[in-house]
A and B are shown apart, each in its own frame.
Chain A
Amino acid sequence: MNAVLANARWELLRLLRSRRIFLLVIPVIAGPIGSALAFFYFGKMEPNGAVLTHGTALMLGLFVTGGLAGMVMLDLSALSAGEDLARRSHVIAFALPQSRSSVLLGRLLVVFGATLGVFSVGALGVWPIAGAIVPALPSDPHPLYDATHLFLAMLSLLFFLGAVTLNASIITKSSSEALVAGVLAGVVTAAAAFYFTYLHQISLLFPEVLLVVGAVALGWSFLRFERLES
C-alpha cells in the first residue's frame, strides 16, 4: 500500500513538474463555457429557440465536456507508463523494492481519478448552465439520450479510452503510438455508437460493454507490465 501511495505521489509530482496538471483544468472550465456558447448559438438559430431543447442542450454539453476530458485521458494515460518505457526511465522504478503492479496502480489512481473527477465536475457544471440558458418546457420532445445515462456512459467511455491507451503504451513502449491507438479506439467507439443510435438499438448495454472491455484491457496491462522484460 505504501508503494502505491508513493507512486501516486510520484505521478502527481510528474504532472506538476511537466505542467500537464493544467490539462485537468480544461474539462472543468472549457466544458461548461464551451457548452454555454453552444447553447447561445443554437438557441438563436430559430426565433423561438426551438432547435435546442433543455434535454438536447444537456446532451450537447456532456459531449463537449466529455470530448475534452477524453483528450486529457488519452494524453495522461499514454504518458503514465509510455513515457517511462520510451525514455527507459522505468529501469529505475523496476529495480526498486516494489511490485510493478504498485507502480502502475499508483499512477493510474492519479490519472484515472483526476480525469474522471474533472469530467464529473465539468459535467455537473453543464446542468445549471443548460437550465439557465435553455429552460425545460413541458412541450419539449424526449431527448435522444437521457442526460444521466449519457453522463454514466461518458464515464465508461473515458475509462475504456484510458485503459486501451495504457495497454497500447505498454505494448508499443511508446506514448505517441499509444495516443494514436487511443484516438482510433475513440473513433471506432463513436462510429459504433452512431450506428446503434441510427438503428434505435442503443442502450445501457453499450457503455457496459465499454466498461468490461476497459476492465479487460486494464487487467491485461497489469499482467504485461508485471512481465515486461527490460
Chain B
Amino acid sequence: MIFLSSHPPHVPSGEAFSLEKVSKDYGSLHALSEVTFSVRQGEAVGYLGPNGAGKTTTLKLLSGLTRPTSGTLRLDGVEPTKDRRRALSSVGVLVETPGVLPYVRGRDLLEHIAEVKGVPLNERGAAVLHATKTLDVAEPSERLLGSLSTGLLRRVLLAGALIGDPKVLVLDEPTMGLDPAARNDLRNILRGLKKEGRTIFLSTHLLEDVEEVCERVLFLRAGRLMGEAPVSPDGQAPSSVGPRTLLVRTSDTTARERVGRAAGPEVGIEESEPGTEFLLTFRGDERRQSELLRALIAGGVPVSRAQPVGSDLSSLYMQKVGREEAT
C-alpha cells in the first residue's frame, strides 16, 4: 500500500528555479547551449530529449553536481555557484542511478541524508520513516543496499530526495528499471507530491511519465531548447485546442522565401530541415489547411509532401526532437 504524504500543501508562488542562457561545455563538446527557461513553484515540468541532448547535464547543474560554463542558474533565487548550501537546501535530487555502498543499510544512508539536510536529531527517525512510507520502502530500507533490486533501490534513493521536505524535486528517469506496477505506483506518488504543491522537474525518455505527471513539457535536442508545450490537466496529451501544424516538404532548397510569401503573415514557419522541410503553424480547420496548401502551390512552391502533424505528445516529440528517439 502507498502512503501519501500528509504534509499541508504549499502555496505555490513565484519561481522555483530558472536558467538564463546557461551553457555547459565538456572540453570541445557543447552539452548545453544558452538554454533559458524557468519553472514556477508548484509546477510539474517534463524534460524530454534523446540521449545526449543535455538533459542529465541540466539536472546535474540543478543539483550542484557541475557548474555552468556560462549563464546564470538560480534555485529559489539563489545561485548554487555562490551559495551552494542555501541553493540546494530546497531541492531533493535523484540524478542518474548513483552507485551505492553495498554494505550500508538503506536506513543508514537516509539518516545521513537527513542529518546533512539539517533535520534535528529528535525528528530524524520520523522524517526517514515518513519518506520511506511515502515510497513504500519502510521495510526494504532496513536491508543492505547491495541486496536491493533496481526498483527498490531507486525508491529508497527517491525517499532520500524527499527527506527534508524539499520544495523542488529534480528527478532523472525515476521510473527507469521499474516493473509496470511499480512504475504506476511511482507515478501516483509523484502526482501526490505535485498535489502537495511541490515543484517537480522530470527528465525522462518515457512520454507516459510526462503525460501522467506533468502539466508542461520542454523539448531539448543537441543541447538546445527546441520548444515547450502544455500537457492537458487530464494527463493524457498536450492541449489539442490550439494551432494546427502542417509539415510541408519540398525538393526546392530555395523555396523558403516563396513559402513565407504564399503562406502569409499569420502562419508561423519553422524549418525542421533547412531549406526543404517546413512546419507551418496556423489557426483554423481542415478547410483552412487546404487553402494554405493551394496557396503554396499557387505561389510556386513545389510541394512533394504535406502531412498534418498531430498534437499529441508523441507527435510533438517527433516534431521537435526527432522520430527515432520517441518511445
Contacts and interface: CB of A to CB of B under 8 A. Distances in A.
Given A94-B64, A97-B88, A230-B66, A17 B105 contact: yes
A94 B89 contact: no
A93 B112 CA distance: 10
A96 B103 contact: no
A229 interface: yes
A30 interface: no
A18 B66 CA distance: 30
B99 A87 contact: yes
Contacts of B88: 95-97
B202 interface: no
Q: Is the interface of B mostly helix, strand, loop or mixed?
A: mixed
Interface string A97-117: 111000000000000000000
A175 to B, nearest CB: 12
A13 B65 contact: no
A90 B100 CA distance: 9
B103 A91 contact: no
Contact of B86 (A6, A96, A97): A97
A9 interface: yes
B84 interface: yes
Contact of B108 (A13, A90, A99): A13
Contacts of A3: 116
Contacts of A91: 65, 95-96, 98-99
A186 B101 CA distance: 29
A105 to B, nearest CB: 13
Q: Which of B63, B96, B98 gathers most chain A CB within 10 Å?
A: B98
A62 B93 CA distance: 48
A16 to B, nearest CB: 10
Interface in A4-53: 6-7, 9-10, 13-14, 17-18
Nearest to A229: B66
Nearest to A98: B116
B55 interface: no
Interface string B51-67: 00000000010011110
Nearest to B88: A97
Contacts of B63: 94-95
B108 A9 contact: no
B65 A230 contact: yes
A4 to B, nearest CB: 11
B117 A96 contact: yes
A87 B108 CA distance: 18
B104 A17 contact: yes
B17 to A, nearest CB: 14
Interface string B228-257: 000000000000000000000000000000
Contacts of A10: 112
A95 B101 contact: no
A97 B93 contact: no
A139 interface: no
A95 B85 contact: no
Contact of B118 (A2, A13, A90, A99): A2
B113 A96 contact: yes
Interface in A72-104: 83-84, 86-99
Interface string A195-206: 000000000000
Interface in B75-114: 84-89, 91, 93, 95-96, 98-101, 103-105, 108-109, 112-113
Given A9-B115, A92-B160, A95-B93, A17 B85 contact: no
Nearest to A88: B99
Contact of A14 (B85, B104, B157): B104
Contacts of B64: 94-95
Interface of A: 2-3, 6-7, 9-10, 13-14, 17-18, 83-84, 86-99, 229-230
Q: Which 6 A-B pairs have the closest CB atoms?
A: A87-B99, A230-B65, A91-B98, A97-B88, A88-B99, A95-B93
Interface of B: 26, 60, 63-66, 84-89, 91, 93, 95-96, 98-101, 103-105, 108-109, 112-113, 115-118, 157, 160
8 contacts: A13-B108, A84-B101, A90-B98, A95-B63, A96-B88, A98-B85, A230-B65, A230-B66
